Structure 1
């Protein structure tokens, strides 16, 4: 049987750390926005841009 109330030492540590250092969570959100939360790519526009780019 699994104890559903179990919380690992790591989870306890991270919960306490993030509570004491809220700027870390803010930095995580900002980093995600910078790297992952982007507008969808318009594939037709991308193809047109690639075709119109100067060839080296």
Structure 2
């Protein structure tokens, strides 16, 4: 959708900066994807091991510093 007063050839300073940065470092997007994969993309959860972990969990006492002796 275009508006009547919209300028079609305008590029902001930020857009120009990003394009210039990509020209200087062509591997920038690959590095960004690698960083994202390192921090955010997780391996799929194995449901069997998740169930085994939940079943082997020991409930914590309501007040952990109180002894039952």
Alignment of 1:7-22 (within 5 A): 7-22=11-26
Where in structure 1 are there 5+ consecutive unaligned residues? Answer: none
> Normalising by structure 2, what TM-score?
0.53
Q: Encode CA deviations 1:16-49: one digit per residue, 9 max, x unaligned.
A: 1111112322210101122233344466753442
Instruction: Compute the displacement of 1:5 (Å).
Output: 2.6
| Greater helix content | 1
After TM superposition, the runs of 4+ consecutive aligned structure 1 residues lying more than 3 A away are: 39-45, 53-56
Task: Report which structure shows greater RCO (CA 8 Å, sep ≥6).
Answer: 1
